[in-house]
Structure 1
């Protein structure tokens, strides 16, 4: 079920976040989706995107890269190639990037595809709120939302009746920017487990109580290095109507809070705009298993075993994966349809043994919270 007019199947993450802008990079000869943005919520320019990469990599100097509009073409089942369809965007451009598909290139001529250097930094898969619901927190779960009295007193004296995101003065709550119990999540490799530096008033904000869940779910964040712009990534409660474009500066602005806001912004960008490639939903293993169930077995040499495939009336063909497998079969030109609506082989090559399914250990673990993007091997090639 191709997501028109983009030419590729959206992953669960891309659907959930209602993305409209997709950035692909090189991955073992194919193309992999590395970033996705919903610009209806947070418009993006090229200079803004470069700034976000700086935040995620924690580097000021980046290797030069260019984004180029691309056409996405199938390269197998749930696998794609991209090719340039227009000139590269100036890296310093302040013009809005139109929604669509883009490729990450190393040169302005868009001849050399690149791998974003941010892939060297572990990708975050879970929001703060996701961590709150995990068992590993144990007894700490009961105190994670509790602000110690001395910190609360200092933060309350600083904020007074002010709500930092709107003018509302009702139903306010003091919330951690970075919950101290999740200190290790601010370290790329999880080495920093000491919550002490986070038990300070600079790491707390007064906000409407209904917004705490969404702030800790990384649905929105604040970029202190972009005039405190509020970035919204996921909106099911009308955050776009509630929140201003920029966080109002407080008369007693605590500059120490900027570092905690920066950490929250960095984490939110990693969770919300990175990743979302379709291979995170359909692994090699799951695709080959589905093909086997439907009676379609690809040897990898362009031949298919002579065996009866499931009739097209089989509801499994109507699934998202079934439709992708059927499209792959028809593109290959090795099968056609007979009058009863069955797939028949056009191949005159002798059958070959059924290719073995890879062991589950060959499948990448996409749920690894700290692991960088993996499973970039091609899925199944078009022949």
Structure 2
């Protein structure tokens, strides 16, 4: 198996950006949605070193993310994940270049290797599935500001950051034996599994739970104080349908793989996982993440009218937009992926992350074959030098033959 450390894929290389609340590490498992005929956009991304995921779990997570849709159904065989290769089109437009032959059944328990994937049915067609967001992209720690009540409301005492009532806290300490459910270390810190005030939004389908139902010992647990902020930011949770396996969206030193003290009911942890996935897992295309495609098109027009072949070094222009404009310019001008790959490798000083990604992805299906790139690059260089040689010959011929012609005249 190829080590994921040698296969990191930076999504920006394809004009995608990972949403701000997705894992801070470079994602190497990327899921794309295929739209007719071959248009793709990113659905989610994660780092396999931090969050191990199998095709079976990913299928179930996608169902959790899509449960808001009336068309959502659990993903079942013969649906398969297949690796795909993505190429550039227009500004922030990406298409499937190749679909890998390897298949990963949607119910496979084996970990997915690093790669870029899409779902397909038994006939090789894109799997019709209503991917999408299911919850506002806010974390538990921001809930008290985003969906809260006034300080004079009696329910204000049930904010996520408010102390858990002592009666519930005592029951949780007794159940958890005074140990953090994530690390197994002694701790006196107790917090909510989900914010009681979020209950009407975090549960699917509607209507949500009443506040009183959330005031339960099943909705509180023991946690180490140094992990409290991470949990409130939805960077750590547990999957009750996978033996309460701990799911990480950040790199934490952790001695446990499963929740230490499983509650009698997993309903709150199920909601915590659903909300965390909605916050942390989805990615999005750059045009949906505050990056203006119009700015890239303006730059593309400048490149087309002028003779610039280098990225502008201006702080007024977002780097991602400038890179996308140059990438699209070369794609339209040369219409060859070899030129794109050559530009990315030659402009390493302008975008070190892109060049390191290209060079470190050896053996990974999402990048072009190294031999093909070398061959195409070699041919491009031959044509380049042949063109320059013709210009030089013409110049020498003009110098030598020009005076003689004037003398004869």
Normalised by the length of structure 2, the TM-score is 0.67
Does residue 287 (structure 1) correspond to residue 293 (structure 2)? The answer is yes
- Measured in 1, the distance between the counterparts of 2:143 and 2:283 equals 19
Structure 2 equivalent of residue 92 of structure 1: 107
Equivalent residue for 2:47, pick from 21, 38, 52: 38
Does residue 186 (structure 1) correspond to residue 202 (structure 2)? The answer is yes
Gaps of 5+ in 1: 299-303, 336-383
The answer to whether the Cα contact below 8 Å between 1:78 and 1:282 also exists between their aligned partners in 2 is: no
Q: Cα 1:208–1:138, aligned 2, differ >3 Å: closer, same or farther?
A: same
- Measured in 2, the distance between the counterparts of 1:91 and 1:63 equals 6
- Measured in 2, the distance between the counterparts of 1:275 and 1:188 equals 21
Deviation at 1:314, TM superposition (A): 5.1
Structure 1 equivalent of residue 179 of structure 2: 162
Does residue 230 (structure 1) correspond to residue 246 (structure 2)? The answer is yes
Question: Secondary structure of 2:82's partner?
Answer: strand
Q: Which moved more, 1:41-50 or 1:150-159?
A: 150-159
Structure 1 equivalent of residue 330 of structure 2: 330
Equivalent residue for 1:246, pick from 252, 258, 261: 258
The answer to whether the Cα contact below 8 Å between 1:25 and 1:115 also exists between their aligned partners in 2 is: no
- Measured in 2, the distance between the counterparts of 1:18 and 1:295 equals 28
- Measured in 2, the distance between the counterparts of 1:61 and 1:191 equals 21
Q: Cα 1:122–1:84, aligned 2, differ >3 Å: closer, same or farther?
A: same
Q: Cα 1:3–1:60, aligned 2, differ >3 Å: closer, same or farther?
A: closer
Gaps of 5+ in 2: 1-7, 336-409
Higher relative helix content: 2
Any residues of structure 2 matched to 1:166-315 within 5 Å, and which? 166-170=183-187, 172-188=188-204, 191-192=207-208, 194-235=210-251, 239=252, 241-248=253-260, 250=261, 254-256=263-265, 258-281=266-289, 286-292=292-298, 294=299, 296=301, 315=314
Give a deviation string over 1:11-67, Cα, whole Å, max 9, x none: 143573431111111235410111212111122221222232344445874355321
Structure 1 equivalent of residue 26 of structure 2: 18
Any residues of structure 2 matched to 1:88-127 within 5 Å, and which? 88-107=103-122, 109-110=123-124, 112-119=125-132, 122-127=134-139
Question: Secondary structure of 2:40's partner?
Answer: strand
Question: Secondary structure of 1:132's partner?
Answer: helix
- Measured in 2, the distance between the counterparts of 1:76 and 1:310 equals 18
The answer to whether the Cα contact below 8 Å between 1:180 and 1:199 also exists between their aligned partners in 2 is: yes
Deviation at 1:280, TM superposition (A): 2.6
Deviation at 1:311, TM superposition (A): 8.5
Q: Cα 1:229–1:308, aligned 2, differ >3 Å: closer, same or farther?
A: same
Q: Cα 1:309–1:221, aligned 2, differ >3 Å: closer, same or farther?
A: same
Question: Secondary structure of 2:241's partner?
Answer: coil
Structure 1 equivalent of residue 368 of structure 2: none
Q: Cα 1:329–1:203, aligned 2, differ >3 Å: closer, same or farther?
A: same
Question: Secondary structure of 1:93's partner?
Answer: coil
The answer to whether the Cα contact below 8 Å between 2:43 and 2:283 also exists between their aligned partners in 1 is: yes
The aligned length equals: 313
- Measured in 1, the distance between the counterparts of 2:182 and 2:65 equals 24
Deviation at 1:203, TM superposition (A): 0.5
Deviation at 1:7, TM superposition (A): 4.8
Q: Cα 1:262–1:76, aligned 2, differ >3 Å: closer, same or farther?
A: same
- Measured in 1, the distance between the counterparts of 2:147 and 2:12 equals 39
- Measured in 1, the distance between the counterparts of 2:91 and 2:106 equals 33
> Over aligned residue pairs, what C-alpha RMSD do you find?
3.4
Q: Cα 1:312–1:217, aligned 2, differ >3 Å: closer, same or farther?
A: closer
The answer to whether the Cα contact below 8 Å between 1:7 and 1:73 also exists between their aligned partners in 2 is: no
